[in-house]
Amino acid sequence: MKDRITQTFISSRDSLTALEGGLKSLAAGLTQQRATLEHFGTARPGTPLARLHSATVLMEQLLPQMEKALRRLQKAVDEQEREREELEALFHVSSIVNSTLDLSEVLNYVMDQIIELTGAERSFLMLIDEETGALEFKVARNMDRETISGSSFEISRTIVHKVAQEGEPIVTTNAQMDPRFSAQESVVSYSLRSILCVPLKVKDKITGVIYADNRIKAGLFTDRDRDLLAAFANQAAVAIENARLFESVANAKRLMDNIFASITSGVITTDVQDQITLFNRAAERILRLSAREAIGRPLPTVLPSQLQPVLVPIVRRVREREEFVIAQEFEPEVPGRGQVNLSITASPLKDANDETQGVAIVVDDLTERRRLEAKERFIRETFKRYVAPAVVERLIEDPDSLKLGGRRQEITIFFADIRGFTSFSERHDPEMLVEILNQYLAMGAEAVLQEEGTLDKFMGDAVMAFFNAPLPQPDHTLRAVRAALAMRERIQAHHETVEPQYRLSYGVGINVGEAVVGNVGTAQQLNYTAIGDAVNLAKRLQENAQPNQILLSHAAYERVKDYVEVKVLPPIRVKGRQATEQLYELIGLKEDGASDPTAT
């Protein structure tokens, strides 16, 4: 179509050129003929020679009109050809705008076409910065289709800012003589003459300007050039808006890709043929498959064998029945990982018309969570009977701090035994005996738990506890001392509320030393306990304690001597030991004895 139109214009121009040549030849012939006739003299009217002379003169008189009509026709053809070139350029620009998102390519072409069609020397495109409101150069081109450097941006900023503010185009045929601009410094300094400037608009909002000028020729631009430039500006505005929208979509896609890549849940999407269309980084990690292996392949052929019987029916049910599957858990074997705990959520993947286009699958790896939950249950079941709830919670918060495999470590051992309980039990019936025993054991247990000690066991009428396990306690010996004193105070307060025959007392022994701490027993019955010579010594001290007496070994005393008041007792030889043991009777805490010895 374009070639036919071009050929038509060429043929028309050739015909006009031939016609012009014919008129020139006719004029020359008529002039020669008239001269020949005049050579023979004036013929008598009515004769053939006279009529020929009259016709020749008439033809000569008509020739100027014919030449004038030919020039008008030539001008009309020139106008049509220019209009064709302009429309062709606009069409080409429109085609580029609709076929490419390369903004630089589109705008450079637009600027080059403006220069070619208007005869401008330079053309510039400037956009308004949304934050500062300043105009920034985006494209600058010259007659040689080259990009102009920043040092050559010598333009009339007065005209540019006026167009940007008012949104109306400006054309001046000679800025040097135009009273609107002749006094402007830039016009004078840069010798600006023909200037054309139009606004860029997107949805009636001015986003920038296009500026073209010629510093050599005056009278170059017309209103037609202004309208042409406005048309190009509209195309440039469309290109810029398309690029902005594309960049926005691209950014959104990059954001979604980053989100899908960074979330901990595996995300898999399939189309209506069960072909995998998305396989994020978490899915790769959970299922030990790469996205390259998975995308574009049918889901059943990609999944590990133990996943197929579960996941494939879920996907088909969701796609065919448009059902939702929420957090369905199972424990398959995954190659390279072994048995895992997975939770599957699946939902229909719909388009803007609410048509199902596939299935979205979210795979959550619960393996670590279930492992931690099992460990938490184990900790609770193991320690809730032995230690204070606060200690249990700290163990759960930091389960790695717990060593259960039988570990040798330093602890403070606390033994307390009710004095005279055997004879007491002989005087009371079993029901009352158990009730009274539980009251005293509870007072001992509460005192230990208050200091975050570990209740090892109740042995008849005795309480065994230790400190510094399962969690480290830098002041573990002082905690044991405070527990013993608190227990004695509780019992003394209890004595004030009961009859004398129900008043019982503890004898307490406290020692510090290494022991093996851990779970002892069978799978059916485990006890978290401490064993070793240090435990035995604490037990022997308790056996030597009088009612309401708290005995400290030498090792225990050395740990708390700055915080307690004691009475030094004669050394004794305890059962099972050859050497004597120096004993100390605990009287109480010094005034600042309750403070933490680890505090600075």
The model's pLDDT over 373-386, given as tens digits with 9 standing for 90+, comes to: 777 777 666 666 65
- pLDDT tier for residue 91 given thresholds of 50, 70 and 90: low
Report, as an integer, the average pLDDT of 442-451. Answer: 92
The candidate with the shortest Cα–Cα distance to 485, out of 536, 444, 457, 442, is 444
Q: What is the mean pLDDT of residues 231-260?
A: 76
Check whether 600 has a pLDDT greater than 50.
no
> Which of 166, 219, 238, 230 is CA-nearest to residue 197?
230
DSSP summary character for residue 42: P
* Confidence check: pLDDT of 2 > 60: no
Specify the pLDDT at position 334: 85
Which amino acid, one-letter code, is at 104? S
- Residue 524: pLDDT band (50, 70, 90) is low
CA distance 310 to 488: 63
Q: Quote the pLDDT of residue 45.
A: 64
* Residue, of 305 and 549, whose pLDDT is higher: 549
pLDDT on residue 149: 76
Q: What angle do CA 8, 9, 14 make, to 5 degrees?
A: 100
Q: How confident is the model at residue 1 (pLDDT cuts 50, 70, 90)?
A: very low
What distance in Å separates the CA atoms of residue 402 and residue 518, rounded to the nearest whole number? 10
Q: Give the model's confidence band at 85: pLDDT under 50 very low, under 70 low, under 90 confident, else very high.
A: low
Could you give the strand order of the β-sheet that contains 205-214, starting from the edge strand earlier in sequence?
Answer: 135-142, 122-128, 205-214, 194-202, 170-172
Q: Measuring CA to CA, which residue among 327, 325, 366, 368 is closest to residue 347?
A: 325
| Better pLDDT: 333 or 243 | 333
Tokens of 297: 């392949």
User: What six digits make up the tokens of 425?
Assistant: 């039990």
Instruction: Locate 51 and state its tokens.
Output: 């009529």
Q: Which residue has the higher pLDDT, 226 or 256?
A: 226
Fold of 100-248: Beta-Lactamase (3.30.450)
Taking the C-alpha atoms of residue 464 and residue 593, their distance in angstroms, rounded to an integer, is: 24
Provide CATH code, domain 264-365.
3.30.450.20
State residue 560's pLDDT score: 96
Nearest one of 205, 234, 210 to 130, comparing CA atoms: 205
- Confidence label for 352 from pLDDT (cuts 50, 70 and 90): confident
- Give the residue-averaged pLDDT of 271-295: 89
Q: Which CATH architecture fits 405-589?
A: 2-Layer Sandwich (3.30)
- Beta-carbon contacts of 392 under 8 Å, excluding residues fewer than 6 positions away, are 379, 380, 383, 384
- Which one, of 15, 18, 14, lies nearest residue 26 by Cα? 18
* Residue 415 and residue 464 in contact, taking contact as beta carbons nearer than 8 Å: yes
Is 161 within 8 Å of 155 (Cβ atoms)? no
Distance CA 532, CA 335 (A): 46
Q: What's the pLDDT tens digit per position in 337-347?
A: 888 898 889 89
Indicate if the pLDDT at residue 592 is higher than 70: no
Coil, strand, or helix at residue 596?
Answer: coil
CA–CA separation, 451 and 58 (whole Å): 135
* Residues 96/139/119/226 CA torsion (nearest 10 deg): 80
Q: Where is pLDDT greater, at 217 or 107?
A: 217
Instruction: Tell which wins on pLDDT, 425 or 75.
Output: 425
What is the structure's pLDDT at 187?
81
| pLDDT tens-place string over residues 353-411 | 888 888 888 888 888 888 877 777 776 666 666 565 666 666 666 666 555 557 899 99
| Average pLDDT, rounded, for the chain | 81
| Position 533 pLDDT exceeds 90 | yes
| Rounded (5°) CA angle 431-432-435 | 90
pLDDT tens-place string over residues 41-58: 655 566 666 666 666 666
Cα separation, 206 vs 169, whole angstroms: 12
Please say if the pLDDT value at position 60 is more than 70: no
Which pLDDT score is estimated for 53?
Answer: 64
- Cα distances (angstroms) measured from residue 168 to each of 114, 165, 288, 528: 18, 8, 63, 89
Q: pLDDT grade, residue 479 (50/70/90)?
A: very high
> CA–CA separation, 70 vs 77, rounded Å?
10
Spatial distance between the Cα atoms of 412 and 483, rounded to a whole number of angstroms? 12
Which string of DSSP letters, residue by residue, matches 432-494?
Answer: HHHHHHHHHHHHHHHHHHHTT-EEEEEETTEEEEEES-SS--TTHHHHHHHHHHHHHHHHHHH
118 pLDDT higher than 50: yes
Round to the nearest angstrom and report the end-to-end CA distance of the chain: 94
Confidence (pLDDT) at 48: 67
Which residues does residue 583 pair with via DSSP β-bridges, in sequence order?
A: 569
Q: How far apart are CA 540 and CA 510, in angstroms?
A: 10
Average pLDDT on 16-35 reads 65
Amino acid at residue number 561: K
Q: Residue 599: pLDDT band by 50, 70, 90 thresholds?
A: very low
The model's confidence at residue 97, banded by pLDDT at 50, 70 and 90, is low
Looking at residue 531, its pLDDT comes to 92
In degrees, rounded to 5, the angle at the alpha carbon of residue 542 between the alpha carbons of residues 536 and 544 is 110
Number of other CB atoms surrounding residue 267 within 10 Å: 18
Give which of 414, 500, 497, 502 is closest to 462, Cα–Cα.
414
At 245, which helix (H) or strand (E)? Answer: helix 223-262
Give the amino acid at 135. L
Overall residue count recorded for the chain in this entry: 600
pLDDT at 30: 64
Strand bridging mode 170-172 / 135-142: unpaired
- Contact predicate 325/299, CB 8 Å: no
